[in-house]
Amino acid sequence: MNFKETISELENMLFALNPKARGYYEAIEALRNVGIKDYGEIKAEAPDFSKFKVVYDPNTNMRNKTLFAIRALNRFVKNKEIAKYLHEQEPNVPIKDFVTALSNPLFFLKNEKRIHKISVGTGNNGVYWGSLKWINEDGSIKAEHKYIEEPKQPEIDI
């Protein structure tokens, strides 16, 4: 077996162990192909990483699942929306289990400054979670990542 065949065989073994590794490997190769001149300037356009698809991993921890859901929904979302998305990815897990499991990951992700919490109105019903990158310098939410308001329920006279 020659050098190229050996590398190819090792890559195939790696991809068989972890199918997601192929996307990471291709991203690394794309970066290597950009190249850098001696004085540190990039001599080619940066690669387009949008073609590298990240897939949901049901075996990851709840923090990663929460981040994945927020990024996939691509806007500020409520706890229930995150839980619904996760349930769609893992239908065998009841949605109420996800609702219950979200409290700690959201708390830690907020404290780690990996997500941002906004409150609309009063109480916990108006809490939305999203990426810090979705906030303008003035503190407002970028239009393309704005939350979807639930219609107000009519008041009922008893």
Tell me the per-residue pLDDT of 50-69, one tens digit each, with 9 for 90 and over: 555 668 888 899 999 999 99
Calculate the CA 123 to chain-centre distance: 26
Asked if CATH classification 1.10.10.10 holds for the domain at 62-145, the reply, yes or no, is: yes
Q: For residue 130, what is the enclosing H or E element?
A: strand 127-130
Annotated domain spans of the chain: 3-51, 62-145
Tally of residues, the chain = 158
Distance CA(107)–CA(104), nearest Å, equals: 5
Q: How far apart are CA 15 and CA 23, in angstroms?
A: 10
Q: Output 63 or 47, whichever has higher pLDDT.
A: 63
pTM to 2 decimal places? 0.63
Q: Give the DSSP letter of residue 124.
A: G
Please say if the pLDDT value at position 78 is more than 80.
yes
> At 29, which helix (H) or strand (E)?
helix 21-34
Q: What is the pLDDT of residues 139-148, one digit of tens each?
A: 888 989 888 8
